[in-house]
Amino acid sequence: MFNIFDQLNDQLLITDQVAKVQICNAQKSIVHQHSSEKLKRYQALEQELQTFLNIATDVHAILNEHLEIISCNNGFQDILGWEESEVLKKNYVEFIDYPDAVQIITAINECKASGQVATNIAKCKCKDGKYKWIEWRGKYIANKKIHLLTGRDITLQKEREEERLAKREAEELEMLKDEFLINMSHELKTPLNVIYMTLQLESEEIKSALEKNGQEIELNILKRHDKIIQRNVYRLLRLIRNLTEIAKLESDEYRLNFINCDIVSIVRQISLAVADHMQSTKVKITFDTDIQELITACDPSAIEQIMLNLLSNTIKYRKDESKVRVSLTVKDNKVRVTVKDNGIGIPKTELEYIFKRFAKIDTSLNRKCEGSGTGLTVSKYLVELHEGSIWAKSQLNKGSSFIFEIPIVQISDEKDIYYGSTSQQIEEKCNIEFSDIYDI
Ligand code: ADP
């Protein structure tokens, strides 16, 4: 027998099932309606974004992992002149000028590793063969393995900046030229004046001797005058030699004459020759090394000139009792020469400056010695032509060390070895190099 409750229950169950199906269908239709609305909205947004990107004044591009352009906006055409079809699937780096391409690749790799936004300025190739400066910003999207790039044309800004720089450089060059002329006229005028005045004095003496019916002129006076003239001629010779050398070295015209030399013998000879030259003064020069002989290819005259400049400076900038120590060591296949003095020293702030042309720390009129500020410039160039380096360490009022290092190399097919100039040649070089020093 049917129970009225069972019947009712069955009906309720059916109604419930129907209701559930209806609800589910309604839900599905709502979801469908929703997602198609969402899709439409999404598509509209995408279109807006694309239009926005196309009308944007910047370049936009998406690159795959191999840096190939997989999507770009009209910026490539508007700014660089490349049509989309010429850009797609091409490597992005192809559009960058060579030296900048290297730094762009580094920046992209860094930005991929760090996940940060990277900025870089690069010269980009335009279709018409010209170049434009683009400031790129990029970010790597790791889950999609793509690079998003956006680039701003800063060519005009760069050109203005370059114009400003060129103008400033031209002004600086003009100032340097003026400074050079002032320095030059001072350096030429001083010894020329001394020579002129000494000659005038001498001619006065000759005149007065003649007036006194051929009275003899004292030989010692003539000798003293001769020495003054000679020293100032040497000063002029040194200045002109240094200036011509700087000009040649700066225009890459200077050629060194590399031969296999015993550098220990060259440095020892020149140090001892200067010590001899200084015998009558309170200057004590010693040479110190553990190495008997060291054959390396170098230009011996250049090494002698560097040594003479460093040694003459230890004397020019000495205090009363001067002790100079020259040492020679070898490290990492380089020969290192150190010239250490206990002189007046150089302020720390000036240490870099002293290697520049016409650099003089004491420009006062009462300075102890003259100097053109060209010796260290020439020395630096000469050391660098040997692929070496030169630097200075100093403590004010305590002393300075000038150190230069050159690599040890040998010319394999050359048998002869040079051991240094003759003492007469060195003496002549000392005369020229030491002409700035009054009190020796
Ligand atoms: P200069 O012909 O004037 O000596 P350098 O180029 O050889 O030219 O030296 C440049 C300047 O460096 C010198 O004017 C001097 O101020 C400073 N200087 C060089 N060597 C020494 C040193 N050993 N001690 C102190 N000052 C030095």
Mean predicted confidence (pLDDT) in 64-80: 90
Residue 345: which of 335, 336, 354, 333 has the closest Cα? Answer: 354
Residue of 283, 285, 338, 376 to mutate, ligand 1, most atoms within 8 A of C-beta:
376
Which one-letter amino acid corresponds to residue 362?
A: D
Is 369 a pocket residue for ligand 1 (Cβ < 6 Å)? no
How far from each other are the two terminal CA atoms of the chain, in whole angstroms? Answer: 145
What distance in angstroms lies between residue 360's CA and the mean position of ligand 1's atoms? 6
Confidence of residue 438 (pLDDT cuts 50, 70, 90): low
- Nearest Cα residue to 237 out of 423, 428, 421: 428
Q: What is the pLDDT of residue 291?
A: 96
User: Coil, helix or strand for 389?
Assistant: strand
Tell me which architecture the domain covering 259-433 has in CATH. 2-Layer Sandwich (3.30)
Q: What is the edge-to-edge ordering of all strands in the sheet holding 146-153?
A: 69-72, 59-63, 146-153, 131-141, 118-125
353-406 pLDDT, tens digit per residue, is: 899 877 666 655 445 566 677 899 999 999 999 999 999 999 999 999 999 999
Q: Is the CB of 309 under 6 A from ligand 1?
A: yes
* Residue that has been written with the tokens 């807006």 in this structure: 48
Within a 10 A sphere around the Cβ of 123, how many other Cβ atoms?
16
Q: What is the C-alpha separation between 147 and 121, in angstroms, rounded? A: 17
Our answer on whether the CB atom of 339 is closer than 6 Å to any ligand 1 atom is no
Q: CB of 361 closer than 6 A to ligand 1? A: yes
Which atom of ligand 1 is nearest the CA belonging to 355?
Answer: 6
Contacts of 338 (CB under 8 A, 6+ apart): 325, 326, 327, 328, 329, 401, 402, 403
Q: How far is the CA of 354 from the centre of ligand 1 (A)?
A: 7
pLDDT in tens, 113-144: 998 998 999 999 999 999 999 999 999 999 99
Residue indicated by tokens 């209701």? 19
Give me the mean pLDDT over the 282-300 stretch: 94
Adjacent-strand bridge partners of 72:
61
Rounded Cα gap, residues 230 and 64, in angstroms: 77
Taking the C-alpha atoms of residue 10 and residue 309, their distance in angstroms, rounded to an integer, is 118
The finding on whether 421 has its CB within 6 A of some atom of ligand 1 is: no
Q: Name the band, by pLDDT with cuts 50, 70 and 90, for residue 13.
A: low
Indicate if ligand 1 lies below 6 Å from the C-beta of 400. Answer: yes
Residue 167, number of CB atoms within 10 A of its CB: 10
- CATH of the domain spanning 172-250, picked from 1.10.150, 3.40.50, 3.40.720, 1.10.287: 1.10.287
Using the mean position of ligand 1's atoms as its centre, give its distance from the Cα of residue 70 in Å: 62
Q: How confident is the model at residue 283 (pLDDT cuts 50, 70, 90)?
A: confident
**pLDDT category, 288, cuts 50, 70, 90?**
very high
Q: What is the pLDDT of residue 9?
A: 56
d(CA 32, CA 27): 8
pTM comes to 0.63
CA angle 347-394-190, nearest 5°?
Answer: 60
Topology of the domain comprising 57-153: Beta-Lactamase (3.30.450)
Spatial neighbors of 233 by CB under 8 A, at least 6 apart, are 191, 195
Say if CB 434 and CB 281 are below 8 A apart.
no
Give 227-268 pLDDT, tens digit per residue.
899 989 998 998 888 888 888 888 888 889 999 999 999 999
From ligand 1's centre to the CA of 387, what distance in Å?
Answer: 23
The CB density around residue 333, as the number of other CB atoms within 10 Å, is: 9
